Amino acid sequence: MTHDTTSFSARLTAAIQSKGTPACIGLDPKASALPPALLQNISASENAPPHQLAEIYLQFCKGVIDVVAPLVPIVKPQLAYFEALGPHGTTALAEVIAYAHEKELLVLADGKRGDIGSTAEAYAAGWLAGPWAADALTVNPYLGLDSIEPFIKRATTTNAGIFVLVKTSNPGGKDFQDLKVDQSHVYDHVAKGVEAVAHKTAGDQQYGAVGAVVGATWPEQLTALRNAMPHTWILIPGFGHQGGTAAGVAGGFDEHGLGALVNSARGVIFAHSRPEINDGLQPHQWQTAVERACTQMIDQLAAETPAGKLR
């Protein structure tokens, strides 16, 4: 997959329009939650040998990708699950990214990287269309706006993207993000900085190379932040398992059904553990459960958000 001639924003827009949905599927392979059919020869434990788990993670993620590739525009591997396995895990991650690209999916690496100076430059060089070949990367801005500048520079020169943490989905996000400074929340200040660089990198697109992460668990703030960041793609985690709903994420979209990516991981990839989804299926049919859950998510977003206009 080349990054040379088309901006990330343009590729993402085209992929969303082609698939008719903004659904993003997280690849979070956790050993204890994997389909039993994949764990017949090892213990369903994170203490199993790393090389065995890495091979199963790869098999599992490829199986998920096979199902969702015709349905969604992008997948989001959570780097921590792979890194926890050391070299075996990172090798598996590289193969997962390559396989997703082979299936014509965009790849958003979820690593929440953040640092200053040459260290940030190294992270950006490695992940954004570098050796890891990710199309985009999540970035933590809480070292200051200068800490994301190397990521922005690399993203714009390689036609990649970044998603900056603004209002995260976890309950504890409010501990710092909701504090008020100069009569505005900290997350509002971050959003203002993100929107400025998103606008600057938009070119001939509505949205720029710099996006924001805003959790599905904060519907009112999501709507306000959509209005405050008209040139910013919003990645919306927390759908499904964390309590976010389709109606709750509706405020993250523009009037055309664009501007947002809604992510679900556990609710889709581990759908074999959801009785209402897994009904009538055999253990080896876990991919059918993934397909059912993914289709359900897509249909819910189409019915209850402006994403329905994409169909």
Q: Is 112 a catalytic residue?
A: yes
Who contacts 283 (Cβ-Cβ below 8 Å, separation ≥6)?
35, 36, 37, 272
Using alpha carbons, select from 272, 207, 233 the residue that is nearest to residue 22.
233
Catalytic residue among 112, 153, 174, 192: 112
Q: How far apart are CA 280 and CA 40, in angstroms?
A: 21
Q: How far apart are CA 36 and CA 18, in angstroms?
A: 34
Residue numbers annotated as active site: 112
